[in-house]
Amino acid sequence: MTEQEFIAINPSETYGSGQAGLLYSSSVVNPGIDDTPVAPFYIQGLTLPNRSKSGVDVGEALKQVNKFTFDVSGSQVTSKVTARQVKSGYTFFRLSQIAIDKLPTTQDINSNPIWNGSEFIFFPFLGSNFNTSDFNPLMNNSETSRRNKFKSIVDRNDSQFIPTNLTAIVAGTAEQAELQHSNYTDTGLVNSRYNGVTENSGSAPYDDPAITVRFTKGSIHPLGADDNRIAGADLLLTGSMEKDPQSIYFRVDRTPTSLVPAGTEYISGSNQIPNLKSIYGRGSTISGSILYEEIEGRLTRITSQKVFIEESGEIFVTNDRGIALSSTTP
């Protein structure tokens, strides 16, 4: 029997409900005279019905199984699936070749060896369609992009001057490119790629995508702290009012300051560790600027606090947005 002849046989209709079929090959005693098969016997294929002998529907599991373990002639064998064909009511599997030493001695009316009571173990056994199950990590992933009806691929792999598929491009038969129409119609994509947009502070005043800041030394205190005690405190001491000197950052792209001498370096950044950018020139006053401190490598607004500036001796009061509203010099 050839493989194609074997594939055409429905095991349930030919061998009985819930029965499987095994395709094997071997040598014979004397070809043409005595066709009795002799060991070793090589199992090459398998047909299994979609419904087991106990009535369980295993059709979906058969679509996804990649290895079988089963009993034949008293031996348990395991084989990998190398190919499959889904037929009406059953599935054919081509297996990695297995050698056995003997065939069952019981035969059916057509002299086919029969082994009763063999159980098939599926690896893996998935009772539902895995591709549409909750366990498929690629569910809803796009593995390929939609083809563009108007844009074609220009093949320059072999030449940067003349595309190898130039003839197909001119004829309008070149392969369509994976380029989405929405790249040219979606407002967000069009603005970010071609038209451009104007950045603004959004809902938080001065919360711009990038800012320019300077820093000086000072300390941060509660709003209720006494100005004279703050101004007279030794910054090298620690306590509820006295803190170690720390860097106080302030905006210079909106409100410059004269607290830092002209010609010194300034930094720029937004919610990250500031980076040295350039040399700043003249300034005026820090009042009206936004004050920041560095917390875990991020610039954070100093809100509703008193801020003492060591260099000028001024004390600034910030509001809930970190803006320096007023200053005093005790």
Q: Taking CA 224 as the corner, what is the angle to CA 220 and CA 230, rounded to the nearest 5 degrees?
A: 50
309: β partners: 218
**Structural contact between residues 54 and 101, judged by C-beta atoms closer than 8 angstroms:** no
Task: Using a cut of 0.85, tell me whether the model's pTM lies above it.
Answer: no
Residue 90, domain member (yes or no): yes
**Structural contact between residues 67 and 78, judged by C-beta atoms closer than 8 angstroms:** yes
Residue 237, domain member (yes or no): yes
Phi/psi at 195 (nearest 5 deg)?
-80, -35
| Predicted local distance difference test score (pLDDT) of residue 277 | 37
Residue 115, domain member (yes or no): yes
pLDDT tens digits in sequence order for the chain, 330 residues long? 788 999 999 988 888 888 898 898 888 888 878 878 888 889 899 999 998 888 888 888 888 889 999 888 777 889 999 999 999 999 999 999 888 888 887 877 777 778 877 888 888 876 566 666 677 777 777 777 888 888 899 999 888 889 999 999 999 899 999 888 888 888 888 888 888 876 655 556 566 667 777 788 888 999 988 888 888 755 444 444 555 688 988 876 554 333 444 444 444 333 333 333 333 333 334 555 788 999 988 889 999 999 888 877 888 888 888 888 777 777
**Domain endpoint, select from 131, 155, 175:** 131
127 and 215, same domain (yes or no) = no
Residue 169, domain member (yes or no): no
Sequence-distant (≥ 6) Cβ neighbours of residue 299 within 8 angstroms: 213, 249, 269, 270, 271, 272, 274, 292, 293
**Structural contact between residues 43 and 23, judged by C-beta atoms closer than 8 angstroms:** yes
Residue 205, domain member (yes or no): no
9 and 126, same domain (yes or no) = yes
Nearest Cα neighbor of 329 from 261, 255, 232, 244 is: 232
Burial of 195 (0-12, 13-18, 19+ CB in 10 A): exposed
The tally of domains found in the chain comes to 2
| Predicted local distance difference test score (pLDDT) of residue 240 | 42
11 and 111, same domain (yes or no) = yes
Residue 177, domain member (yes or no): no
| Predicted local distance difference test score (pLDDT) of residue 261 | 44
Q: Is 156 helix (H, G, I), strand (E, B) or coil?
A: coil
| Predicted local distance difference test score (pLDDT) of residue 194 | 83
217 and 313, same domain (yes or no) = yes
121 and 229, same domain (yes or no) = no
- The backbone region for 253, taken as left when phi is positive above 0, alpha when psi lies in -120 to 50, beta otherwise, is alpha
**Domain endpoint, select from 131, 150, 170:** 131
Domain of 248? 211-328
Burial of 144 (0-12, 13-18, 19+ CB in 10 A): exposed
119 and 232, same domain (yes or no) = no
| Predicted local distance difference test score (pLDDT) of residue 102 | 84
Residue 88, domain member (yes or no): yes
319 and 215, same domain (yes or no) = yes
User: Alpha helix (H) ranges present in the chain?
Assistant: 3-7, 11-15, 59-64, 166-171, 187-190, 227-232
96 and 7, same domain (yes or no) = yes
**Domain endpoint, select from 131, 166, 188:** 131
Residue 315, domain member (yes or no): yes
